Structure 1
Amino acid sequence: MSLDRRRLAWLAAGGTLAAATPGWLRAGGTPRPGELVEGSELPAREASWYKKLDGNKVECQLCPQGCKVADMERGTCGARENRGGTYYTLVHSLACSLHADPIEKKPFFHVLPGELALSFATAGCNVECKFCQNWEISQFRPEQVQSYWLPPESLVEMAKRSGSKLTAATYSEPVVFWEYVRDVATAAKAAGLRPTIVSNGFIQEQPLRDVLPLLDAVKVDLKAFTEDFYQEQVRGKLEPVLKTLEIIRGAGLWLEIVVLLVPTLNDSEDEVRRLSAWVKEHLGPEVPLHFTRFHPTYRLTNLPPTPVETLERAWRAATAEGLRFVYLGNVPGHAAESTHCPGCGEVVIRRMGFRILDNLLKDGHCPKCQRAIPGVWA
């Protein structure tokens, strides 16, 4: 997301962006909300999920990377630093991307259709997807990215001014700024907003369980259904992500899943069927599953966009496995963007890209057969 677009988003919400005061940290000051923070002078606060080790080392207990970090070094994400045996997050309240998006853009298709979500991110990520669409912020350290000081209360106030009913930690990876996610969610709840996140699901159990009660919905990007793909294309692991999905579902939180189908790498019908069968067995047939179209980017520019026929084949395979809400993404105008009642087949929400053309639900029920459609509708 460009700086100009961030400025417009901020100003449209009634905020201001100010140039940073040189040396404000050395002077013992605090940035003003909306103030540019750049260079090596990063505000830092102690991280919440780590263990102290001998020799001023620490072990990060936030994600399955399990980084053991020496003094004055950082973890894999580049956003956490060991200073004398105390581990710090360097990105709390440092938003580098900010925009009021339609909730459908996340995508959430069963959460407050047509409403805006004030979406925010910081620099950094705990994996490295070769196909990352936001690599300009996810694969850089916070001092390498223009960021603005936006404490949770200021972000929530901005959300209210922009007409957003939700907040969404997204764009890069919320796990990297988990303390910020927690504090924004707390402030959002207090203000009557709905906190959501868009995550890769690569997180340890305790921090996940600590924050889940504060959230209203989670969308997880399930990169593929093989460990080989995770190791070669993501620099992560599949098994912890599957566990995350089960924990979210078990907590009763609204969950949607997105699978980006990358030609030749994770788009075989066999893999789609196995993935879909796992979702049905472990999460239930009513969890929405989105198959989205890949476009060449970052380190995977040698592959073509996903053929629409491949997406449609995946849709048929997942539906045949018994999933009731299967969608196709990045193909504006396709019939599989819309929500159909699994009881009678009636279209209950008609979409075009991120726009809602018709929302025919009546208190969360199909208007034709009165079947309840699961989701967060009010």
Structure 2
Amino acid sequence: MQYKLSRRELLKASLGITATAFAGDLLHGAVAAEEAPGLHEASFYEKLESNTVRCSLCPWRCVVPPGGRGKCRVRENRNGTYYTLVYGYPCAIHNDPIEKKPFAHVYPGSMTFSLATVGCNFVCKFCQNWEISQKRPEEINVPYIKPADIIKMAKEAQPKPRTVAFTYSEPTIFYEYMADCARAAKDAGLGALMISNGFIAEKPLKELCKVMTAIKVDLKAFTKKFYEEICEGQLEPVLNTLKCLKDSGVWFEIVVLIIPTLNDGADEIKRMTEWI
């Protein structure tokens, strides 16, 4: 599967787009985080007592003490301010057929310029991209690439893509970067796609729907047991996301990966299809 981009390949792919991306002292982890160009204050959190914060980006609603991180491992509390550590640091970039996402009814036959950072708010035992989804930001050294340069790369890619896709890991955890890239994509005449596990809070989801062309949600099963034991997640918030998407009017598709003996029971499939 071609989803990983080595540091050498990423540098080569980005050559000529931005000098900043190649300055050795700007590589992620090479400078103090406060000086890194990609350090952004996180959206959707509240400050509590004693410099503690509560994240409101996803349903985990992590309460994070100073110096701590959320369950996603990519958001950190620094003296009472919550930061995303992955803004501008994609670790995987590839120009894919849109059916690989997979979307069945969004620009069939087209290409989509796809990217991801490390991190996820689930721990799925069957994850095919675990090498990036379960990493911490400091475990992968990649150059900083601002949203405008991502879009420039997309516009120069061959075959020409019609969209930019946020995929491979869980885009919710790089929400700020995704949203800014999506806005830049639309300004450049490209669509914006999110490929997600659906584990996102309602308020950030509604904001995201304003800039997304389409969203694909992986409905991993239809039992609480599967979500809790196989994904270390929860089913109900994902169902709430699907209801919210239906009400939002944004185009969305649901994909179910059938895993024999785990989520393929006839009764489960029947209940799922009736709910949908």
Deviation at 1:165, TM superposition (A): 1.2
Which structure 1 segments of 5+ residues have no match? 23-30, 280-378
Q: Distance in 2 between matches of 1:13 and 1:103?
A: 25
One-letter code of the match for 2:156?
Answer: R
Letter in 2 for 1:233: I
Aligned partner of 2:209: which letter? L
- Equivalence map 1:244-263=2 (5 Å): 244-263=241-260
Work out whether 1:185 is the aligned partner of 2:210: no
* CA–CA distance in structure 2, aligned partners of residues 39 and 177 of structure 1: 20
The corresponding residue for 2:110 is 115
Indicate conservation of the 8 Å contact 1:14/1:161, yes or no. Answer: no
Secondary structure at the residue paired with 1:136? Answer: helix
Corresponding residue number in structure 1 for 2:4: 2
Q: Which residue of 2 aligns with 1:224?
A: 221
Among 268, 272, 289, which residue is 2:269 paired with?
A: 272
Shifted more, 60-69 versus 9-18: the winner is 9-18
> Greater RCO between the two (CA within 8 Å, min separation 6)?
2
Q: d(CA) in 2 for partners of 1:134 and 1:193? A: 26
Cα distance in structure 2, aligned partners of 1:262 and 1:13: 41
1:4, distance to aligned residue in structure 2 (A): 4.4
Identity percentage of aligned residues: 51
CA apart distance, 1:194: 0.2
> Residues 41 and 99 from structure 1, CA distance in 2 versus in 1: closer, same or farther, beyond 3 angstroms?
farther
Which residue does the alignment assign to 1:88?
83
What is the alpha-carbon distance in structure 1 between the residues aligned to residue 207 and residue 274 of structure 2? 29
Aligned-partner Cα distance in 2 for 1:102–1:212: 23
Mapping 1:1-378, distance limit 5 Å: 1-4=3-6, 7=9, 11=13, 15=17, 20-22=23-25, 31=26, 36-38=27-29, 41-42=32-33, 43=36, 44-162=39-157, 163-279=160-276
Quote the offset at 1:249 in angstroms. Answer: 1.6
Question: How far, CA to CA, are the matches of 1:203 and 1:123 in structure 2?
Answer: 17
1:139 and 1:40, CA in 2 relative to 1: closer, same or farther beyond 3 A? farther
Runs of 4+ in structure 1 off by over 6 angstroms are none
Question: In structure 2, how many angstroms separate the alpha carbons of the residues matched to 1:196 and 1:2?
Answer: 19
Contact 2:7 2:142 in 1 (8 A): no
Gaps in structure 2 of 5+ consecutive residues: none
Equivalent position SS for 2:168: coil
Contact 1:13 1:158 survives alignment (8 Å): no
TM-score, normalised relative to structure 1: 0.67
Q: Using a 3 Å threshold, how does the CA distance of structure 1 residues 40 and 125 change in structure 2: closer, same or farther?
A: farther
**What whole-Å deviation, never above 9, does each CA across 1:207-235 have from its counterpart, x for those lacking one?**
11111110010000111001111111111
Larger Rg: 1
**Higher normalized helix content (fraction of residues):** 2
Judge conservation of contact 2:194–2:215 (CA < 8 Å) in 1: yes
Cα gap change, 1:87 to 1:103, in 2 (>3 Å):
same
The answer to which of 247-256 and 62-71 deviates more is 247-256
Provide the TM-score with structure 2 as the length reference. 0.91
The letter of the residue matching 1:37 is H
Structure 2 letter corresponding to 1:3: L
Distance 1:59 1:8, change over 3 A: closer
Alpha carbons 2:199, 2:241 under 8 Å: kept: yes
Q: CA deviation at 1:37?
A: 2.7
From the superposition, tell whether residues 271 and 59 of structure 1 become closer, same or farther in structure 2 (CA, over 3 Å).
Answer: same
Q: Aligned partners of 2:216 and 2:30: how far apart in 1?
A: 32
Cα deviation, residue 141, structure 1 = 0.5
Contact 2:119 2:135 (C-alpha < 8 Å) held by counterparts? yes
SS of alignment partner, residue 82 of structure 1: strand
Q: Distance in 1 between matches of 2:88 and 2:18?
A: 16
CA distance in 1, matches of 2:247, 2:134: 32
1:127-168 Cα distance to aligned partner (Å, 9 max, x none): 100111111011011111232311111111111111211000
| Contact 1:63–1:203 (CA under 8 A) maintained in structure 2 | yes
Alpha-carbon separation, structure 1, partners of 2:76 and 2:122: 17
Contact 2:186 2:192 in 1 (8 A): yes
How many residues of Structure 1 are paired with residues of Structure 2 in the alignment? 267
State how far apart, in whole Å, the 1-side matches of 2:165 and 2:16 are.
19
